Chain A
Amino acid sequence: MSLKLIRNFSIIAHVDHGKSTLADRLLEFTGAVTDREKKDQLLDTLEIEREKGITIKMQAVRMYYKAKNGNTYKLHLIDTPGHVDFSYEVSRALAACEGALLLVDASQGIEAQTVANFWKAVEQDLVIIPVINKIDLPSAEPDRVIKQIEEILGLPPEEVILASAKEGIGIEDILEAIIHRIPPPAGDPQKPLKALIFDSYYDSYRGAVAFVRLFEGKVKAGDKIKLFSTGKEYEVTEVGAQTPKMTKFDSLSAGDVGYISASIKNVRDIRIGDTITSAVFPASEPVPGFRPVKPMVFAGIYPAEDTTYEELREALEKYSINDSAIVYEPESSPALGMGFRVGFLGLLHMEIVRERLEREYGVKIINTAPNVIYRVKRKHKEEVFEVRNPSEFPDNPGLIEKVQEPYILVTVITPAEYVGNIMQLCQEKRGEQKKFYYLDEKTVLLEYEMPLSEVVIDFHDKIKTLSKGYASYDYEFSEYKDSDLVKLHILINKKPVDALSFIVHRQKAYRRARLIVEKLKETIPRQLFEVHIQAAIGGKVIASERIKPLRANVTAKCYGGDITRKKKLLEKQKEGKKRMKKFGNVQLPQEAFLSVLSVE
């Protein structure tokens, strides 16, 4: 098929603006999925899942569209991850396209993620087709949204398509706009292979599979290929595309989007943003823009309850086959025993990992407070070292010459009525205002530069609460900046509990210390001994609380020799103690460790 009849595009949208519904409609309209197939396909997937224990998600779907001009076009719809933690992945998916549908909810209007993704698409020189979705809803305000699109994004009103993916309105207009407005891909099939990896997954049948966009050249089964970043070579076992089933094709050539499998054992070898080329006639340059995965947030993950270290290790190993974005290494904590320090793309990523480990791999875990990577320079030492774990941070503030922490640029879009709340929040989070302007009379865009560590804790929840769920935000890394940071120790009966210590800005240390000792006082049950909780910087205690020893806990009577009941009660009490982490004479419940996470 001539390159002229190919179109590659993505849908960019804020969460819940109807991206997957629109994708479904496009598939149905082009006949890629019939109603019958929808059922069959579902069954197929379930069967494969059952047999091989894998889930196939749609990464890049190929469909054929017979346009009004009589030509049949090959369309590739490339999926983009929906969260700010995955912004690099989004940029690579966009790099595989020539155009993008910018989907905006007719009632919600433009949100932070819409703007962020719009700029990412513009950076890639994509043609953007604005689509206003959900126009059938009574609350729809298409005129307001058209105005927003014009004023904020600078797109002409006449280019906007009104649609309702749910009701099937505007679907054909969208498809016609795709073939007319988005240019066909360029590229020469005769040149050496140059394929951009924008996604990957693991399939126990094919091994690690790469989703690619071919910019130059051709690839087929049997070809020898090479990965640019590692230089590793493989032999291609299969090429194909999702239609939306995984369908084998003879070859892929320049302009195409599809998958390549080559008996690659580990998804870690398929790095998103990397370029696949021929091992025999390699391209001279890779597709620009590759960077290795860089975790932004680290937390300790430890086995809890009945889970053992070995079980946790196994679960992490299995999980990481399918998620190349996490990194982990063993660590041990005097308080929590053996566990792992795990790096995540962001807080949401951390939550996903945590939840999937517990749900899909059946382990119970405790995680310590997440932290970012700090750069520390000690006095009289040349090198700057990176701190991923509060325990590596110098205890004595006197030894530190300078500390840096990562800053981000946060964009917030909020209804005007909540702007005061949000500015206050951003200030509390040590943010510095960079932009403030009205998108329209009801909506404000704010931009702040602030430390990533402040966003890591509870920014998401706070912003949602303060705006009744209406404000949205997005962020990107800006730079490392000097910061007056100290390590706050939490001591229980005078001994520091490493898993409770964290790094905090000096100005906030007193407040945090107070809140944390109070929270710990609430969560630690009274015990046989007095519990003395202290928060300290270096050797200086800045907050403390005492939990008085338990006074009464007795079962008075074993009536008529009914021992069983009494035994069950004590058994339960014993099991409760077992689940706690023993620290000297003090038993710390899991909630104590979690409470540190929830304190701002």
Chain B
Amino acid sequence: MNKCVKALYIHIPFCRYKCPYCDFTSFIGGEEILEEYISLVLKEANLYKDTPKKISTLYLGGGTPSLLEPFQIEKLLDNLNALGYFSSLEEITVECNPEDYSYKEYKQLLDIGVNRISIGIQSFLQKGLNVLGRRHNSLMAIRSVQKAKEAGFKNINVDLIYAYPNQTPEDIKMELEYISLLKPSHVSAYMLTPYKYTPLWKKIKERKLTMLSEEEVYTIYKTLYRGLKRLGYNRYEISNWAFKGYECKHNLTYWKMENFIGLGVSACGFIDNKRYRNFRSLEKYTQYLEKGKKPVEEIVALSPAELRKERIILRLRLKEGLPLREKYIIPSFLEAFFEEGNKGIGIKEEYMILSNEIIAEVLLFADSVTDR
């Protein structure tokens, strides 16, 4: 009972510089081999030629996809189209850094069919950008959203990071001010996580930076989610808000466990209940493709139990949560943290910031009700 592949993710693993908090796979430089890399991705795409697909969303992520010129993206899309990838495409997202594209490029992207842009703003405040080690400035951040709008993008996402060291509730109010002025259709706000071995993590370990206390994080969080709600944004996932109808279709395929293909170094995919991940090394990735093999480093077939677990984890990230008929896997002592809507039962907004703790409890409880 094979399901069709609904989404395609392409990873562009190159950056001009590495952000101190980032632990995704990306390499510094690489502009000179972009062309070569794109042809490898196409080679990989060809290896999935026979996988049944009805792809409705494409997401170009990174790294920094905006290192690509619009014409290179066009070429990539054309070639994928020739391989039969795009019979029913509805949403094409390109991630970009605020400093890379301007009016002209945005316009070109629209022309070639890109209809959603996701801008890595992280913060509209210079203070935030400094702490986060970003090289664009506050003005560039604001401009990039304005330019994309001027060029005609209706669907613009702004990525924000909150709870960075020294951030105050006043700062987050300022971010909200900018958002109310620019009115992007979508906002993703991520709590800063110092992943192990990143430069940020080292600084914290060496006590050169201090993470905010839980209380401070909570105050900022509260200010943020209440502010976004007031501005008319509809929260549909732990880290995602959108105006009605502007939810990111691509990301929803992950959370609803649709099949998707991931192409490129370190990309992940999910096909027929199997999760795979590509090599993180560019060298290995290249070697495999040159031999005509899929550059997959790891592939795991999920047991029904694992699938159930993933479903809980992913569904509870969504505001709508689990279908009401599955309410029984939520232990009664957690009732206060959940609310029922017409679609299902999900974690209350104010507690979404505790989702790890809550989901871990649900998983533990779900284990005990498995044998029903």
Contact = CB atoms under 8 A, between A and B. Distances in A.
A574 B360 contact: yes
Contacts of A551: 214-215, 217-218, 353-354
Interface in A455-482: none
A76 to B, nearest CB: 61
Given A557-B239, A561-B262, A567-B310, A577 B356 contact: no
B30 interface: no
Given A562-B277, A564-B268, A577-B364, A554 B262 contact: no
Contacts of A573: 356-357, 360
Nearest to A566: B313
A566 B359 CA distance: 11
A563 interface: yes
A564 B360 CA distance: 15
Given A528-B361, A564-B300, A566-B313, A554 B353 contact: yes
B314 interface: yes
Contacts of A571: 309, 363
Interface in B204-221: 214-215, 217-218, 221
A555 B217 CA distance: 14
Contacts of B310: 563, 567
A567 B313 contact: yes
B163 interface: yes
A559 interface: yes
A564 B356 contact: no
Interface in B248-297: 254, 260, 262, 267-270, 275, 277
A569 to B, nearest CB: 7
B355 interface: yes
A548 B215 CA distance: 10
Contacts of B267: 560
B20 interface: no
B187 interface: no
Nearest to A557: B190
Interface residues of B, number: 47
Contact of A563 (B9, B238, B268, B355): B268
Contact of B262 (A548, A550, A552, A560): A560
Contacts of B369: none
B356 A556 contact: no
Nearest to A527: B357
Contacts of B277: 562, 564
A274 B309 CA distance: 62
B62 to A, nearest CB: 9
B363 to A, nearest CB: 5
B328 interface: no
Contact of A550 (B9, B59, B214): B214
A299 B57 CA distance: 63
Given A560-B268, A563-B314, A567-B309, A552 B238 contact: no
A526 interface: yes
A570 interface: yes
Nearest to B216: A551
A281 to B, nearest CB: 66
A547 to B, nearest CB: 12
B239 A561 contact: no
Nearest to B298: A564
A553 interface: yes
Nearest to A525: B357
Contacts of A560: 9, 11, 24, 59, 61, 262, 267-268
B358 interface: yes
A552 B268 contact: no
A247 interface: no
Given A560-B268, A561-B268, A555 B193 contact: yes
A245 B96 CA distance: 80
Given A578-B364, A585-B333, A552 B313 contact: no
A552 B221 contact: yes
A558 interface: yes
A526 B193 contact: no
A558 to B, nearest CB: 7
Nearest to A564: B275
Contacts of B238: 554, 556
Interface string A528-568: 10000000000000000000101111111111111110110
B190 A556 contact: yes
Interface in B340-372: 352-361, 363-364
B254 A555 contact: no
Contacts of B61: 559-560
Nearest to B317: A558
Given A563-B314, A577-B364, A553 B356 contact: yes
Nearest to A529: B333
B268 A570 contact: no
B191 interface: yes
Contact of A577 (B24, B221, B262, B361): B361
A585 B357 CA distance: 13
B246 interface: no
B315 to A, nearest CB: 12
Contacts of A528: 334, 337, 354, 357-358, 361
B355 A553 contact: yes
A550 B354 contact: yes
Interface in B1-36: 9, 11, 24
A570 B364 contact: no
A563 B333 contact: no
Interface string B302-346: 000000011001100100000000000000011001000000000
Contact of A554 (B270, B333, B354, B361): B354
Contacts of A553: 353-357
Interface string A234-272: 000000000000000000000000000000000000000
Contacts of B24: 559-560
A558 B215 CA distance: 25
B239 A556 contact: yes
24 contacts: A528-B334, A551-B353, A552-B217, A554-B354, A554-B355, A555-B355, A556-B192, A556-B193, A556-B239, A557-B190, A559-B61, A560-B11, A560-B61, A561-B254, A561-B262, A561-B268, A563-B254, A563-B275, A563-B310, A563-B313, A564-B275, A564-B277, A574-B360, A577-B361
Given A562-B268, A570-B360, A570-B363, 15 more contacts: A527-B357, A552-B218, A552-B353, A554-B353, A554-B354, A554-B355, A556-B239, A557-B239, A558-B317, A560-B268, A563-B310, A567-B313, A569-B356, A570-B356, A573-B357
Closest 8 CB pairs of A and B: A556-B190, A551-B214, A551-B218, A573-B360, A552-B217, A553-B356, A561-B254, A574-B360
Interface of B: 9, 11, 24, 59, 61, 163, 190-193, 214-215, 217-218, 221, 238-239, 254, 260, 262, 267-270, 275, 277, 300, 309-310, 313-314, 317, 333-334, 337, 352-361, 363-364
Interface of A: 526-528, 548, 550-564, 566-567, 569-571, 573-574, 576-578, 585
